[in-house]
A = this chain, B = another copy of it.
Amino acid sequence: MAAFLLLKSNISAPLQKKNYSKILLTNYCHNSVINLYQIKQTIMNANAKVLDSQQLLIHWQGHRNLTRRVIEAFPEKDLFEFSIGGMRPFSKLALELIAIGGPALKSIVEGTINKFDETFNPTTKDELLAKWDEETETINEYFSQITEERFQETFNLFGQYEFPVYQNILYFVDNEIHHRGQGYVYLRALGIEPPFFWERER
């Protein structure tokens, strides 16, 4: 009970944080003796800074370098046409990513709520890659303007995804990895060796 009160007083309201206090409690309830010092230490660790803004930007741009390499690996025709199980061709998946990263960051920094816009519709790989590189610069420009407070503030992205900014940004990266993973299967099905997953340098 003391443990529960301590957790309650240290962990604030949002649903997800409640889940975490459940996680912590579950761990400690396995022990017959509740060690308050250890619980306090765990809560201090729970609030520990994991990484900073520049590290996350480097991480994301590393993933974007790899995704660019996956776009390049597709033969021109297959990039726009090849598909499995009724899914979108890889060009469409890449265009979704282009429509998210730069525009979303600009929107977050400027505090303007813009609609999600997927109208850019290139017909060549070069055109797609040129836009990809343009967005690389946009992301660098706006990412570095996000202050520490902003990462924890909620933002109604594209007028429909109201989450803390850090969750929105993690979602951009995760969504990119998810779709790129699908691109790896397309490449394998086409008999093409995809780039190494751990290669992140431009």
Contacts and interface: CB of A to CB of B under 8 A. Distances in A.
Interface of A: 11, 16-17, 19-20, 23-24, 26-27, 42, 44-59, 61, 63, 84-87, 137, 140-141, 144-148, 151, 166-167, 169-171, 173-175, 177-182, 184-191, 197-198
A57 B20 contact: yes
Nearest to A197: B178
B45 A145 contact: yes
A87 B184 CA distance: 10
Contact of A45 (B46, B144, B180, B186): B144
A148 to B, nearest CB: 4
B166 A51 contact: yes
B174 A55 contact: no
Contacts of A63: 174
A180 B173 CA distance: 15
A52 B50 contact: yes
A11 to B, nearest CB: 8
B185 A87 contact: yes
